[in-house]
Structure 1
């Protein structure tokens, strides 16, 4: 078997032609497509990187906005709290001032009422004392001495029921009470005026003025102190009525 160079040459030419055809109709479009796809891929990667960068920037911006919002919120809350505290203090200060003013006015009014009441009470007490003194003085004997009080005591004894008068006079320890010591002559005159020769004498300064008859079975009031007490009781009863 011999090698046919002509056939080999034709086959080689056919291969070259086929390669040229493939190069023109297959390899170049495929290469263009691959290049285009690579370019698109690179563009997609670039866009993805840009989008990632944008996302990171947006995230940083969002984080910054979050911090800014939190700071603004904190500032707003702080300002609101400060304003609320200032308003609270202002309200409390105003309330304290108003309360102090009301308390001062109330104290002044109370003082005025107390002063007026005290003045009115003093005036009433003065008037009452004057009435009591006038009535008490008018009830005293004239002259207001031992003889005068002895005469009034005799009238008081005579005004008593007989049995009551007899019981007092018959009682043990019969005595006459005076607010000041009586001389022997005064004692004799008083006993004679009352017909009580055996009556003793005792000192009782609480009577103020007067002469009272006392025994273990009773007594007959006849003194300025008793008159004042009776007048005061009567005036109190009149005021209550």
Structure 2
């Protein structure tokens, strides 16, 4: 077998031409397509990475905002609670102050009413005392002799049994605040002698004004103090019935 260099050269040329054709029409476009796909894939990966990074950033921002919102909400709630507590405290303080003011005004009004009532009572007592004193003084006899005359008149006005019980009760005494003039003492003893009685003269400084007849069985009141008591009781009864 012989080797044909011409044929070999032609075939080599054909191979080279074929390779050139394939390179130009096949390898380059395929390489370009592969490069393009690779670039697109890389771009997609980059975009995915970017999106993932943005998502993670968004998630982090969301967490941060949620935490900030929770903190803000907690702060708002705390402030609202603090404001409510402060408002409650102010209301309680205002209510206590108002209650104390009302109580103070009530006490002041009560004090004024009590003072006014006391003043009215004192005025009434002064009026009553003045009226009693006026009536009592107007009814008083003129001096010791007048009391002796009124004693005799009272003895005459008594019933026999009342007079006998007084005069025969034992330890009969004529009582005056101080010494009696002789004429007055004689008039009193004469009034007693009309009923067969005699009395011993005694003094009682507390009597102030008057001439009373006392025995172990009773007292014939005949004094300024007795008149004051009688007039005061009568006036008080009149006021109560009115």
Q: What does residue 222 of structure 2 align with?
A: 222
Q: What does residue 165 of structure 2 align with?
A: 167
Matched length: 234
Judging changes above 3 Å, is the alpha-carbon distance between structure 1 residues 164 and 31 closer, same or farther for their aligned structure 2 residues? farther
Judging changes above 3 Å, is the alpha-carbon distance between structure 1 residues 136 and 32 closer, same or farther for their aligned structure 2 residues? same
Q: Provide the C-alpha distance between the structure 2 equivalents of 1:209 and 1:239, rounded to a whole number of angstroms.
A: 28
Deviations 1:71-109 (A, max 9, x none): 3651574267347626853784487369638845873x5
Candidates 143, 148, 151, aligned match of 1:153: 151
Judging changes above 3 Å, is the alpha-carbon distance between structure 1 residues 183 and 46 closer, same or farther for their aligned structure 2 residues? same
Gapped regions of structure 2 (runs ≥ 5): 1-7, 9-22
How far the C-alpha of 1:174 sits from its partner, in A, is: 1.1
RMSD of equivalent CA atoms: 4.6
How far the C-alpha of 1:115 sits from its partner, in A, is: 5.3
When structure 1 is superposed on structure 2, of 149-158 and 77-86 the one drifting more is 77-86
How far the C-alpha of 1:222 sits from its partner, in A, is: 0.6
Gapped regions of structure 1 (runs ≥ 5): 1-8, 10-22
1:54-73 equivalence runs, <5 A: 54-62=54-62, 63-71=64-72, 73=74
When structure 1 is superposed on structure 2, of 192-201 and 127-136 the one drifting more is 192-201
Judging changes above 3 Å, is the alpha-carbon distance between structure 1 residues 189 and 43 closer, same or farther for their aligned structure 2 residues? same
Q: What does residue 176 of structure 1 align with?
A: 174
Contact residue 211 and residue 223 of structure 2 kept, 8 A: yes
Q: Provide the C-alpha distance between the structure 2 equivalents of 1:173 and 1:27, rounded to a whole number of angstroms.
A: 172
TM-score normalised to the size of structure 1? Answer: 0.69
Secondary structure, counterpart of 2:179 in structure 1: coil
Contact residue 173 and residue 199 of structure 2 kept, 8 A: yes
Q: Provide the C-alpha distance between the structure 2 equivalents of 1:187 and 1:41, rounded to a whole number of angstroms.
A: 157
